[in-house]
Structure 1
Amino acid sequence: MTVEQARTKWGRTKWGRTKWGRTKFGTGRTPAMAIALPSGVVLGMAGGLLSVLVGVTASNPALGFWVFTSCLTMPAVALVYVLVVDRNTLEGAAERPDDSIESGWYDKAASGSFADLILVLGIASIILTFIPRDFFVDLKLVLPAVVAVCFASFGVRYLVLRRKG
C-alpha cells in the first residue's frame, strides 16, 4: 500500500492536494477560499458598520464605512482561511511540521526567553522595592517595555540558534 492510498484509506486527504487547499469539515471537497472570501468580506463589512455605529467615522460615515471595510477585508479573509483550511490538502505542506529543525529552534528560543523574562522581572521587582514611595512609575511605559524585552530576547535567541544550525 502506498502512502497516498493509506492517507485516502484513513481519511487524511480524500481528494488530493491543491494549491489553496480544501476545508476541514463536511466532505472536504469544498475549496477553502470558497468559504474564506465571502466570509472575510462579510466580516470586513461588519467591521465597517461597527466603526460607523461607534462613531469613529462621524465626519463622513459612508467614506469611513468603505475605508474600514477595505482595510479589514483581507485580514478577515486570511483569518477565515487559516481556520477552515485542512493543511493536509495543501501542496508542498510538510507532513509533520512539529518535527522540523525550525520547530526545535522556536521551542528553545521560547523557553530561553521565558527564563530571561523571569530574570528581568525579578531584578526589576527588587529594584522597585528600594525606590522611594514618591517616585512614580507609569505602567503605560513599563508594560510595553516588558513586551519589547520579550520580543528582543526571543528574536536574538532564535537568530543565534538558526546561525548555529
Structure 2
Amino acid sequence: MATTTRTTGKAPLSAYVLAVVTSLVLASIVGAVASVFYDENRLLGFVIFAACTAGTFFALGWVVFVSKYTVEPDAHAEDNIESKWYAKATSGAFHDVITTAGIALVVLSISRLEVSGDTVLLLILILAMVSFAVRFWVAKRRDS
C-alpha cells in the first residue's frame, strides 16, 4: 500500500528561514568567487554576482526546504501530457544544438574566424532556449 503525504499549505517559519539563509550563503559564495577575478573593484563584483544569483538560490532553497510542506507531488506526473510535450521539445532542441554546433564548427574551421568562448556559449544557450520554446509550443498546439 502506497503512503501519501498531505500538505498543510503552509510551511513552518524555520523552513522559510532556512530557504533565505541558504540562498544568501550560496549567493555570497558565488559573489566571493567572482570577486577574486575583479582586481579593479572586488566589492562591486561581489555585489553584482551575489545579487544576480540570489533569486536562483532562493528558488533552490524554497524547493529544498519549503515545498515539501506546500506542494503535493503528482503521483502520475510522468503520464501528464505536459511531460510528453517537454520530452519532445527537449529531445528536439538537443538535436538542434548538436546539428547547429557541428555546422558552426565546420564554418569556423573553414573560415578561420576567431570567436570568444563566452560568445559561443551565449549563442548555444540562446539557441537551446529558443528551440525548446518553439518545439514545446508546436507540440502543445498539435495536441490541443
Common topology (TM > 0.5): yes
Secondary structure of residue in 2 paired with 1:18: coil
Contact 2:23 2:60 in 1 (8 A): no
What is the alpha-carbon distance in structure 2 between the residues aligned to residue 17 and residue 151 of structure 1? 33
Displacement of 1:155 in angstroms is 0.6
Q: Over the residues paired in the alignment, what is the CA RMSD in angstroms?
A: 3.3
Contact 1:39 1:77 in 2 (8 A): no
Displacement of 1:109 in angstroms is 0.5
Structure 1 segments unaligned to the other structure (5+ residues): 1-5, 21-30, 58-63
Secondary structure of residue in 2 paired with 1:83: helix
Equivalent residue number for residue 152 of structure 1: 130
Are 1:98 and 2:85 matched, yes or no? Answer: no
What is the alpha-carbon distance in structure 2 between the residues aligned to residue 129 and residue 49 of structure 1? 40
| Alpha-carbon displacement from aligned partner over 1:109-151 (angstroms, at most 9, x marks no partner) | 10011111111011111111211x4x42222222201111111
Query: Max radius of gyration: which structure?
Result: 1
Equivalent residue number for residue 124 of structure 1: 104
**Which TM-score applies when normalising by structure 2?**
0.68
Contact 1:36 1:77 in 2 (8 A): no
What aligned pairs does 1:4-153 form with structure 2 within 5 A after superposition? 6-7=1-2, 10=3, 12-13=4-5, 16-20=6-10, 31=11, 33-43=12-22, 46=25, 55-56=42-43, 72=54, 76-84=57-65, 85-86=67-68, 90=71, 93-131=73-111, 133=112, 135-153=113-131
Q: 1:76 to 1:141 in 2, by over 3 A?
A: closer
Higher relative contact order (CA 8 A, sep 6+): 2
> What percent of counterpart residues are identical?
29
What is the alpha-carbon distance in structure 2 between the residues aligned to residue 76 and residue 98 of structure 1? 26
How many residue pairs were aligned? Answer: 129
What is the alpha-carbon distance in structure 2 between the residues aligned to residue 141 and residue 123 of structure 1? 16
Structure 2 segments unaligned to the other structure (5+ residues): 36-41
Equivalent residue number for residue 39 of structure 2: none
Displacement of 1:45 in angstroms is 5.2
Q: If each structure's helix is expressed as a fraction of its own residues, which one has the higher value? A: 2
Displacement of 1:99 in angstroms is 1.2
Q: 1:81 to 1:138 in 2, by over 3 A?
A: closer
What is the alpha-carbon distance in structure 2 between the residues aligned to residue 119 and residue 45 of structure 1? 39
